[in-house]
């Protein structure tokens, strides 16, 4: 078919990656709003119009960077989780949460790119929401494989849970299979708290109330672990 690897298509791929690399560097140095196609082109010894051969618009370039950022974060969390004994749900949770924070503090501008204010006229293509789910999938797996153990507990006297009225049970069941729907809300809350923490930390809302964010984050992670019933084996 057409997917032959002639020198032109590989050159194109390399050039595309080079553009993204330069853009990433500029974003890291300045910020996302300080990124300009002209500066990227200058940096590469190109004329600005040449970049449009690779990215039709500035937003397209940003979309590509967003996708990469999601995958980069997802991969970092996956690896952190993989380094811990599967059976130790608490250790996996803590390692994953710390990996998220480590990535965020090491790449604050890329974090802002994916979890900060959305780009004006930008609507996330389905690929990005797929990539965004990658880190959620790790956390979901931890819960799944933890909950199976105590699944034989009392079936809960629950006074008619109504989670189905406000949550997408199917999507959530796919991410954390085996977890009872009654647990979905706490899972989502924990997820929200982790990223809310990082957003507050990176965007400066904690100044004045916290002084050691490393320690505070660990304490938050522990509190969440308790509310999620995650304990060492």
List residues binding a copy of itself (CB under 8 A): 30-34, 112, 115-120, 124, 129, 132-133, 162, 165-168, 171-172, 175, 185-186, 188-189, 192-193, 195-197, 199-200, 203-205, 207-216, 219-220, 223, 227
Give the CA distances from residue 78 to residues 14, 81, 99, 134, 135, in Å, rounded to whole numbers and listed in that order.
Answer: 27, 5, 9, 9, 7
Binding piece for DNA, criterion CB under 7 A, among 45-53, 70-78, 148-156, 171-179? 45-53
Residue from the set 25, 38, 102, 219 that interacts with DNA by CB under 7 A: 38
Q: CB under 8 Å to 44, separation ≥6 — which residues?
A: 18, 19, 22
Residue from the set 28, 52, 189, 193 that interacts with DNA by CB under 7 A: 52
Q: Which does 215 bind (CB under 5 to 8 A by kind): DNA, a copy of itself, none?
A: a copy of itself
CB of 139 to DNA, least distance (A): 35
* 212 φ/ψ sector (left φ>0, alpha ψ -120 to 50, else beta): beta
12 forms part of the interface with DNA (CB under 7 A):
yes
Distance CA 18, CA 21 (A): 5
Q: Which does 120 bind (CB under 5 to 8 A by kind): a copy of itself, DNA, none?
A: a copy of itself
Give the long-range contacts of residues 148-154, CB within 8 A, separation 24 or more: 148/178, 150/229, 151/178, 151/180
CB of 42 to a copy of itself, least distance (A): 19
Tokens of 13: 């791929």
């Amino acid at each position: 078919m057409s997917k032959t690897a002639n020198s032109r298509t590989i050159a194109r791929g390399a050039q595309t990656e080079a553009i993204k690399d330069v853009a990433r560097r500029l974003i890291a140095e300045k910020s996302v709003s300080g990124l300009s196609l002209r500066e990227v082109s200058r940096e590469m010894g190109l004329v600005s119009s040449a970049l449009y051969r690779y990215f039709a618009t500035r937003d397209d370039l940003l979309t590509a960077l967003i996708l990469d950022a999601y995958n980069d974060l997802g991969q970092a969390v996956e690896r952190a989780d993989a380094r811990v004994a599967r059976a130790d749900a608490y250790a996996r949770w803590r390692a994953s949460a710390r990996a998220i924070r480590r990535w965020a503090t090491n790449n604050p501008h890329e974090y802002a790119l994916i979890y900060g204010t959305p780009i004006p006229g930008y609507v996330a293509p389905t690929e990005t929401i797929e990539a965004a789910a990658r880190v959620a999938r790790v956390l979901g797996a931890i819960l799944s494989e933890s909950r199976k153990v105590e699944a034989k507990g009392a079936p809960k006297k629950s006074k008619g849970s109504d989670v189905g009225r406000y949550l997408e049970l199917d999507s959530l069941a796919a991410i954390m299979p085996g977890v009872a729907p009654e647990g979905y809300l706490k899972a989502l809350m924990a997820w929200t708290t982790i990223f809310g923490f990082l957003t507050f930390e990176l965007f400066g809302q904690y100044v004045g109330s916290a002084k050691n964010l490393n320690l505070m984050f660990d304490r938050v992670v522990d509190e969440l672990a308790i509310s999620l019933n995650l304990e060492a084996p």
